[in-house]
């Protein structure tokens, strides 16, 4: 594609920002400095070279939720590195073109414009978060003639699973609707029907809140109390006001829809203020980072972790009888992938294993399978057909993966974990733990 055509497309994209509420005004984007890029700056017409397939990533590598983007990237990189060292996909290495968005919508939009119109990546992969992805989806619809799809975002929200944007994304993980329904089902089953919700005041939090409300309605119940916080809150923030609001509603359990820093702050203040009920978190929270914050406060951490129950969308990485878990642990140890130093603005110590990096690993494993099904001459126009050919694929976790025109989410299972001996392990008995 000529430079003139790229400029024309970029102008077209920026014009749409002026008339569509999901994008920043033209001036705001044009005034931003260029996103931070990887050392490699090779451009192609189709996201391909003779030696590479280039995937575009925008995720949080800075800010209070940076652990999510970093861990997801590390898990995916472990598998891609392994594939590349064994010849790649049909002779091409899989390369990630990665930008930091800090888990903020505006940088995510800017990065996506860069990836689609300037970098011209083959596809988008491994985005993090609902408020970011929901702002990107309309761009995919706007430029649908370019056949650029978003693969396996780290969010369980509904917008990329439903019209009008569901046709532009493929999901691997279970949805927030499934996670919240499972939590509600289990709490009701052990006679904890009075449920309150603590949630992030944005598209992510509202998606989870709607899931809890929908699930409770099946039992003739309603949310008894709710409190919100602003995205980007740090662990040092006080959540006393939110705890007091929920405590006044006399809940028998609280479901949190947030990220690890804010949710850890809520748990800390809830325990300190005497709200001693089970506190559940969704998979997006980042369980290991949540636990790290609560256990590094000093003193006895047991009161802060004993009543935690986190839903997950991948099995426990402690379950080494599962083939994909063994493979994940071996490749994480062998390659120990580190995030691009150019993207890191704050110190971060990665975990040897985490639910988020395991999810990134499984995302990459399925991504490679899809790319292989494109054959020796990959083309974006055949991506949907390649994905839809995935039927009962064994990813190695005991749940077959299937896709189709009416099924754009590969996995459905939700797992539940609690803290034991300083780590999250599979919850086997809800009654024994919480009754």
CB–CB of 96/80 below 8 Å? yes
Q: Provide CB contacts within 8 A for 18, sequence distance 6+.
A: 25, 26
**Residue found by looking up tokens 């596809």 in the block:** 123
Per-position pLDDT tens, the chain of length 435 = 333 344 444 444 444 433 343 333 322 332 233 333 444 445 556 889 999 999 999 999 999 999 999 999 999 999 999 999 999 999 999 999 999 999 999 999 999 999 999 999 999 999 999 999 999 999 999 999 999 999 999 999 999 999 999 999 999 999 999 999 999 999 999 999 999 999 999 999 999 999 999 999 999 999 999 999 999 999 999 999 999 999 999 999 999 999 999 999 999 999 999 999 999 999 999 999 999 999 999 889 999 999 999 999 999 999 999 999 999 999 999 999 998 899 998 999 999 999 999 999 999 999 999 999 999 999 999 999 999 999 999 999 999 999 999 999 999 999 999 999 999 999 999 999 997
Q: Provide CB contacts within 8 A for 73, sequence distance 6+.
A: 57, 59, 61, 96, 98, 126, 337, 339, 360
CB–CB of 305/271 below 8 Å? no
DSSP conformational letter for 116: I
**Residue found by looking up tokens 């497309």 in the block:** 9
Q: What phi-psi label fits residue 419: left (phi over 0), alpha (psi between -120 and 50 degrees) or beta?
A: beta
Give the integer Cα–Cα distance in Å for 302 and 259: 21
């Amino acid at each position: 594609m000529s430079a003139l055509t790229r400029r024309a497309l970029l102008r077209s994209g920026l014009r749409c920002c002026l008339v569509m509420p999901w994008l920043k005004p033209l001036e705001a984007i044009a005034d931003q400095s260029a996103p931070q890029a990887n050392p490699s700056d090779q451009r192609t017409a189709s996201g391909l070279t003779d030696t590479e397939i280039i995937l575009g990533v925008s995720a949080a590598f800075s800010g209070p939720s940076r652990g999510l983007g970093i861990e997801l990237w590390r898990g995916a990189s472990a598998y891609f590195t392994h594939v590349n060292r064994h010849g790649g996909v049909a002779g091409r290495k899989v390369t990630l073109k990665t930008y930091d968005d800090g888990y903020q919508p505006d940088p995510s939009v800017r990065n996506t414009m860069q990836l689609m119109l300037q970098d011209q990546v083959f596809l988008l992969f491994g985005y993090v978060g609902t408020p970011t992805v929901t702002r990107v989806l309309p761009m995919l619809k706007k430029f649908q003639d370019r056949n650029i799809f978003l693969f396996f975002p780290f969010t369980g929200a509904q917008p990329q699973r439903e019209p009008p944007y569901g046709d532009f994304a493929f999901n691997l993980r279970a949805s927030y609707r499934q996670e919240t329904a499972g939590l509600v089902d289990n709490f009701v089953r052990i006679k904890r029907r009075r449920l309150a919700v603590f949630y992030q005041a944005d598209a992510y939090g509202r998606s989870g809140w709607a899931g809890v409300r929908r699930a409770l309605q099946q039992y003739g119940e309603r949310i008894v109390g709710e409190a919100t916080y602003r995205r980007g809150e740090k662990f040092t923030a006080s959540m006393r006001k939110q705890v007091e609001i929920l405590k006044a509603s006399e809940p028998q359990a609280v479901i949190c829809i947030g990220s690890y820093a804010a949710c850890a702050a809520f748990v800390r203040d809830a325990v300190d203020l005497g709200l001693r009920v089970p506190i559940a978190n969704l998979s997006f929270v980042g369980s290991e980072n949540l636990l790290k914050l609560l256990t590094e406060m000093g003193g006895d951490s047991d009161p802060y972790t004993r009543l935690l129950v986190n839903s997950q969308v991948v099995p426990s990485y402690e379950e080494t009888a599962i083939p994909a878990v063994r493979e994940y642990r071996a490749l994480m140890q062998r390659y120990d992938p580190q995030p691009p130093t150019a993207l890191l603005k704050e110190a971060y110590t990665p975990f040897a294993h985490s639910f988020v990096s395991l999810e990134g690993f499984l995302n990459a494993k399925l991504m490679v399978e899809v790319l292989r099904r494109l054959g020796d001459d990959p083309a974006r126009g055949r991506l949907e057909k390649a994905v839809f050919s995935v039927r009962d694929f064994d990813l190695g976790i005991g749940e077959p993966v299937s896709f189709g025109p009416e099924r754009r989410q590969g996995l459905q299972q939700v797992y539940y974990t609690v803290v034991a001996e300083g780590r999250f392990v599979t919850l086997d008995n809800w009654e024994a733990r919480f009754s």
